[in-house]
Chains A and B, each alone.
Chain A
Amino acid sequence: MIQTENLTKQFKTTLAVDRLTLQVQEGEVFGFLGPNGAGKTTTVRMLTSLIGPTSGKAIVNGFEVGKQDTDIRRSVGILTETPGMYDNLSAQFNLEIYASLYEVKDPKGQIEKYLRMLGLWDRRNDEAGTFSKGMKQKLAIARSLLHEPRLLFLDEPTAALDPEGARLVRDFIEELRKQGRTIFLCTHNLDEADRLCDRIGVFKSRLLVVDAPARLRSQLFGRKVVFHLHAPAPGLAQTAQALPFVQEARLVDNKLLVTLEDPDLHNPEIIRALVGAGAEIQFVGELRRSLEDVYLQLVKAA
């Protein structure tokens, strides 16, 4: 659905996006995770043909950025960082404008469908300016869906909302995912990315890493397995370290901490080696790292 190759955006003094190469598959929820100023919005703007890349290439929905811009605009939906509603106009009128601009076949039906789905139908005649932030955000989501895009860009959809509003929006994203839509979700919220996304790309001007949330935790740092021993035995760290797949082994009191990439595969072999060296293992557990550790380490290093 999205393919980019060395996509780059240089503003006068800032290199906002640096040689981004990325694939997003159909039906996938892709989390684009990065701190403020990382270049997420700039990337979304390039992928929705709002601004042109300085260099590089991107194909969105089969159309090339810079060459088939109108086709791209017609075929994708976008929830911009700020809802940008016409505050003096009613919710319904706001949507009517966009239904027309997106050439929606059955504007009345589509508007009613999404206003009802997002719980705004009863307020349809009220000016958008009277809406709370959460309601405006929902109205903006409705606006982005009127033309039933298969690919949807969501730029920090919950950033400005209180926890309750954020929860509602996340549930709705979950709903959209079930409908099989492809979603490109920009966020700086780890928890959100972890819960909603099939894959996460950690981004700060450059794409630092891409993977499924669970694998991101393990692959990057390895996973830590703890072997609780009956008594501390000094030679055991070296025994474990000697195994080819072990990244690090350390003895702390009567716990042996082993870092490795794939415990499911290699734990039995470690246990065999340790028992062979005379260890009395009481039980084995895993130290889970939070995605936050991963993220912060990556972003600090970048």
Chain B
Amino acid sequence: MDKIKTILHKEWAEVFKNRMVLFATIFLPLMMTALPLIILYATAGAETGDFTSQMPKQFREFCPEGLTGGECFQYYIVSQFMIMFMMIPLIIPVNIAAYSVVGEKTTRSLEPLLATPITTAELLTGKNLAATIPAVIATWIGFAIFAVGAAIIAKSQALLGALLDPMWLLAIFLVGPLLAVLSVNFSLMVSSRVNDPRVAEQLSSVVILPLLALFVGQISGFILLSRSLVLIMAAVLLVIDLGLIYLSVQLFERETILTRWK
């Protein structure tokens, strides 16, 4: 445990000296939080007219009970941004993991590190947590700010209830961390094969594509997030995560790390 803590401490001290990483970890969540709040605020006056009939048919069915047409529209728009919010736990770890592995490569610090009695599992856990924890915390703080902001801006209790629906809580508190783990392990694997953090980030961004597809799908009305879909996502992610963790433990034998991560 102490060794994992040491690795965490070291990773954070190193990685957060990088402006790119710092920027992504702080500004990205702030931006993703601010956008839906601004939208919520700007659309607060959209009470006039019958928006409900102009909305995609599927959405009307899912529109929570007790919302006025305008609120329903607000809920619809803000939901889109909530999905973008899920990108925070994907993007931040990519950044941290890519810079951490490529950093070890450029300073050639892996050999002395692997010569210590630290186990490979401890090292990988340390690197995983170093990237996952800031991502999850940033997501949660972002969501907390959003919740407080929404409570202030939302005009009705019904709208607030819809925005802070258990579905979203599940998405943030369960799917978020699972996405972060996925992203970390994927970028650890990618970063171990390339020598440029930017390339590693670009390659790792592949993991963001499915979520973008979801975003576009939702906007165009093909896919609608529901509690059951969020739960299915969580289950699928859990399986993928376990698979990835198993793979990375298999892949990153000490000798492989030493001879490949260079």
A26-52 interface bits toward B, Cβ cutoff 8 Å, 1 = contact, 0 = none: 000000000000000000010010111
Chain A neighbourhood of B6, CB < 8 A: 97, 100-101
Complex-state Cα separation, A81 to B258, whole angstroms: 13
Chain B neighbourhood of A84, CB < 8 A: 107-113
CB closest residue in chain B, given A48? B115
B114, A50: Cβ atoms under 8 Å? yes
Interface size on B, residues (CB 8 A): 25
Interface residues on A, range: 20 to 34
CB closest residue in chain A, given B2? A100
Known A89-B14, A101-B3; contact A51-B259, beta-carbon cutoff 8 A = yes
Residue from B3, B107, B117, B119 within 8 A of A87 (CB atoms)? B107
Which residues of B1-49 have CB atoms within 8 Å of chain A's CB atoms? Answer: 2-3, 6, 9-10, 13-14, 17
* B254 interfacial by beta-carbon distance below 8 Å: yes
B2, A86: Cβ atoms under 8 Å? no
Distance of B260 from chain A, by nearest CB (Å): 12
B117, A102: Cβ atoms under 8 Å? yes
Chain B neighbourhood of A86, CB < 8 A: 10, 14, 107, 109
Complex-state Cα separation, A87 to B107, whole angstroms: 7
Which residues of A73-132 have CB atoms within 8 Å of chain B's CB atoms? Answer: 73-74, 78, 80-89, 93, 97-98, 100-103
CB closest residue in chain B, given A97? B10
* B239 interfacial by beta-carbon distance below 8 Å: no
Distance of B119 from chain A, by nearest CB (Å): 7
B255, A85: Cβ atoms under 8 Å? no
Complex-state Cα separation, A93 to B11, whole angstroms: 12
A88, B17: Cβ atoms under 8 Å? yes
The residue in A73, A85, A93 that gathers the most chain B C-beta atoms within 10 A of its C-beta is: A73
B115, A78: Cβ atoms under 8 Å? yes
Which residues of B114-142 have CB atoms within 8 Å of chain A's CB atoms? Answer: 114-119
Distance of A141 from chain B, by nearest CB (Å): 12
* A70 interfacial by beta-carbon distance below 8 Å: yes
A70, B119: Cβ atoms under 8 Å? yes
Complex-state Cα separation, A140 to B113, whole angstroms: 12
Which residues of A2-45 have CB atoms within 8 Å of chain B's CB atoms? Answer: 45
Distance of A50 from chain B, by nearest CB (Å): 6
Chain A neighbourhood of B112, CB < 8 A: 78, 80, 83-84, 98, 140, 143-144
Distance of A237 from chain B, by nearest CB (Å): 56
Complex-state Cα separation, A83 to B110, whole angstroms: 10
A129-163 interface bits toward B, Cβ cutoff 8 Å, 1 = contact, 0 = none: 00000000000100110000000000000000000
- 14 extra A-B contacts, CB within 8 A, seeds A52-B255, A84-B113: A51-B255, A51-B259, A70-B119, A73-B117, A80-B111, A80-B112, A84-B110, A85-B109, A86-B10, A86-B109, A93-B13, A97-B6, A101-B6, A140-B112
